[in-house]
Amino acid sequence: MKVCAGTGVPDGISVSNLPWTLVYADDTQFEPSSIGYQQFPKPEYPWGDKLLAPGRCVRGWITFQVPGKRRPVAVEYAPEGVLVAPRWTVK
């Protein structure tokens, strides 16, 4: 995942892995794993709140514990205060 704080946001933004969710075709959703795994690629996306200054970005992997052979159809990002979470299709 990669997120950038827009230059029009004077105080920057706070990011974390917690607002990300995987969505499946049957509308089930999975939150990020609360356990870190050394065998997964680095860098990891920030686990706790990280403040990004305007114009700065952060990128890293988020791990999810998911069911075996099913594939997600979308990923959502719903930080606190967002009424409608943006959703991106997974291909």
Whole-angstrom Cα distance, residue 10 to residue 47? 23
> In the structure encoding, which two tokens stand for residue 7, read together?
């230059």
Residue 16 structural domain:
1-90
Which pLDDT does position 14 carry in this prediction? 87
Which pLDDT does position 47 carry in this prediction? 84
Which pLDDT does position 22 carry in this prediction? 95
- In sequence order, the β-bridge partners of residue 15 are 50
Domain count within the chain: 1
Query: pLDDT-derived band of residue 82, with 50, 70 and 90 as boundaries?
Result: confident
Which pLDDT does position 69 carry in this prediction? 87
Per DSSP, the residues of 9-26 read -TT-EEE-STTEEEE-TT
Q: What is the pLDDT of residues 24-72, one digit of tens each?
A: 999 999 999 887 767 777 888 888 889 999 999 999 989 888 888 889 9
